[in-house]
Amino acid sequence: MAIRAIIWVRVPSLNAIWIRARSVLRNRRVRADCFPLVASLVAGKSGIEVGGPSGAFRAPFGVLPVYPLVGRLDNCNFGDRTVWQGAVADGSPFVFDSRRPPGRVQVSEASDLSAIASGRCAFVLSSHVLEHCANTLKALGEQVRILEEGGALVMMLPHSEETFDRLRPVTSMEHIRDDARAGVGEDDMSHFEEIIALHDFSLDPRAGTREQFEARSRKNPENRCFHHHVFDTRLVLDLLDEAGLEVLALEALAPFDIIAVARKLPTGRRPDNAAFRAPDAAWRRGSVFSRDSLG
């Protein structure tokens, strides 16, 4: 009698397949619409990247390929070893583009950039960093502090709708304020249970098994891998307002990116970001995420 073997294959959801396909296609898509603006704000100037180096800023395929344009670019990372940069040392070269002179690495928390003088930078870059910071407003405030007046913040964050955070609720602005008032440290683990319970493994193939992911997450103060907070584009706009920044551009792009470009105003001036709050704001009309159109 013939014996037929049955092989069970776990097939990802169609949504997961689509998101992964878009991630692959990302390197072939058009640059972000705000790239000319960003280029004008960083070209020939001196700044710092918090986290990184980042594929989003590399030429030719990054959505904001500014690395070839900057005058000087230094770096800040939380420790002397990270999962994205490997081993580094304070003061070591920051190689962000093989064709450009390297900058300098500064080892310090994103929420404590006290080693960097206030007003030193013409721009600050970050890509998918702020979600790894437990004290969001403190980290953002430090980036604003080191900017010169008129300096530019260029920040990318993951939109939760199309990431492994999609089952988690978007963090409220009040929660973020509470964290700032409480002085939450970067060793905070208060979101651990929610992260483990609601992580969408179908959109995070590198997470491994639930047990492996939980073990890695328990070591978050060492590796900084999990997302403390969950973002949509409206929350990013609220954060920029809270930090007193003038919003220059907001853009929401597939597969899961929010791009924010903002400017530091002179002391005492408050931003008027009303145009970005309008129901028909350009970022809403152009967003690929359904939640952004809800107002």
Per-residue pLDDT of the chain (295 residues; tens, 9 = 90+): 343 333 323 333 444 445 445 544 443 457 999 999 999 999 999 999 999 899 999 999 999 999 999 999 999 998 777 777 777 788 999 999 999 999 999 999 999 999 999 999 999 999 999 999 999 999 999 999 999 999 999 999 999 999 999 999 999 999 999 999 999 999 999 999 999 999 999 999 999 999 999 999 999 999 999 999 999 999 999 999 999 999 999 999 999 999 999 999 998 899 999 999 999 999 999 999 998 987 5
Q: How confident is the model at residue 244, as a pLDDT?
A: 97
C-alpha 241/C-alpha 15 separation (Å) is 33
Residue 193's closest CA among 170, 219, 214? 214
Q: How confident is the model at residue 28, as a pLDDT?
A: 43
C-alpha 217/C-alpha 265 separation (Å) is 38
Residue type, 115: A
Residue type, 274: A
Q: How confident is the model at residue 295, as a pLDDT?
A: 58
Q: How confident is the model at residue 30, as a pLDDT?
A: 72
Structural domain spans, the chain = 20-288
pTM of the full predicted structure? 0.88
Strand order in the sheet with 245-253: 93-94, 103-107, 72-77, 46-50, 121-127, 147-158, 257-264, 245-253
Fold classified for 20-288: Rossmann fold (3.40.50)
Token pair for 97: 């583009």
